[in-house]
A and B are shown apart, each in its own frame.
Chain A
């Protein structure tokens, strides 16, 4: 199976490291010879349809910051042109997220579908903005479109709901889908520190981004809720349909008050057939939704299996690459059958 890697940032590098690490495992277990035919970033691309040297690609990126500097096979070709011209089975789309327009990732995905390539994405922007259009284009071109890594990183939620729980009527999905807000609230509760102080510390540790607006305002969780609503509940909604409240007003005193009645406060995203909500909620201390630190958790409430809870790492290069790899294996198995 040949892939094109679109985006060579933290997640892209994690994907290459994971492929290198799991190469033998994939061959032995699934008969899957995974080759990277092209890698693209803002500088251009490295292309070799017989398979690039992944360790060399990582070294070049580390040393120069540009994949176009890959010896002999590096070039300044644009990403759309690479997707169109390079012979591959799938693209792995991990370019930066834009939750307002979904671009340019959306165009990369559409180009991949049109050129009959499967798409595996970790990019929540285009999924939150143009889900129906993307799914329709994939269906029309008879290719697979998988995006497990877009919600909850390594935590299996989309494929769990769509495949493992097939036949169940899913009534509610709720949980913590943003590790940064969970880290901040956990730390505020444990050390009775105020929001600004914990946020600053989280930024210094690299847990929160320099511009944390999307995380703390709840927008990041809202985008994930929209993806769940569209992909699992078959709805056609965008972020504008989400009732939204972030965590900026939570105080250490509010957390102490919650503790007095056996609760804690978490930023919870919830989706049903009728509603899409992201807001701080009181969670009982002994609830499975009370996970600490930067963990993510989701509870899927169904008619047959009752409540299923999954907990996992919501971010991180290798963790996200794990979800991407599982989607690639699934596509490979589908192609084989």
Chain B
């Protein structure tokens, strides 16, 4: 058996949408536990799905299709696959080409939320970014943060 921990957007029809790539691949679904009361920090609904054992190719293709539907595959067989990373950034975020900053972060993960405040046109601004990223790529992303910080004079405040 394979245990999948998924995180779905909290809107009608998302569960059905998430089960589609699994059933389309012909995989037997043994159980689905919808945990509405345990929402994630970004308001997603965790769902545990148990399916029959599959070969790696088929499983990878299901995961790929789930991610295309904006379903986060947080864990496979209790192994953390994706993580939601919170970062606060301080500096001249817009003036130093915020699009370029996001593009460079997106090479390692995906910036799924950006909240920016500019209290004064001259003063440094502050932003909050939520990034969904494969756990294996976390250190590479941190290295990229360091490079961007040096180049653009930004301060990345990471999680403890």
Q: Which residues of A contact B (CB under 8 A)?
A: 174, 245, 249-251, 253-254, 256-258, 260-263, 265-266, 268, 279-284, 287, 289
Contacts and interface: CB of A to CB of B under 8 A. Distances in A.
Contacts of A279: 157
A281 B88 CA distance: 9
Interface of B: 41, 86-88, 90-91, 115, 117, 119, 123-128, 130, 155, 157-160
Main secondary structure of the interface of A (DSSP, over half): mixed
Given A258-B128, A263-B88, A282-B86, 5 more contacts: A253-B125, A258-B88, A261-B86, A279-B157, A282-B87
6 contacts: A250-B157, A251-B124, A257-B88, A257-B117, A260-B128, A261-B41
Contact of A263 (B117, B127, B159): B159
A281 B128 contact: no
A254 B90 contact: yes
Contacts of A281: 157-160
- 8 nearest CB pairs, A to B: A253-B126, A257-B128, A254-B126, A281-B160, A261-B86, A282-B159, A253-B117, A283-B160
B160 A289 contact: yes
A260 B116 CA distance: 12
A265 B126 CA distance: 13
A41 to B, nearest CB: 41
Given A251-B90, A282-B160, A257 B155 contact: no
B88 A265 contact: yes
B90 A250 contact: yes
A19 to B, nearest CB: 39
B90 A249 contact: yes
Give the dominant DSSP class at B's interface: strand
Nearest to A175: B160
A10 to B, nearest CB: 32
A289 to B, nearest CB: 6
Given A249-B124, A257-B128, A282-B88, A174 B160 contact: yes
Nearest to A243: B146
Contacts of B159: 263, 281-282
A251 B126 contact: yes
Contacts of A257: 88, 115, 117, 126-128
Contacts of B124: 249, 251
A253 B88 CA distance: 10
A253 B119 contact: yes
B117 A256 contact: yes
A217 B40 CA distance: 35
A162 B123 CA distance: 46
Given A251-B124, A265-B88, A260 B160 contact: no
Given A254-B88, A254-B90, A261 B160 contact: no
A181 to B, nearest CB: 14
A268 B124 CA distance: 22
A249 B155 contact: yes
B133 to A, nearest CB: 15
B157 A280 contact: yes
Contacts of A282: 86-88, 157-160
A174 B159 CA distance: 13
Contacts of A263: 86, 88, 159
A263 B85 CA distance: 12
A256 B86 CA distance: 13
Nearest to A280: B157
A279 B123 CA distance: 22
Given A251-B124, A257-B128, A261-B41, A287 B117 contact: no
Contacts of B86: 261, 263, 282
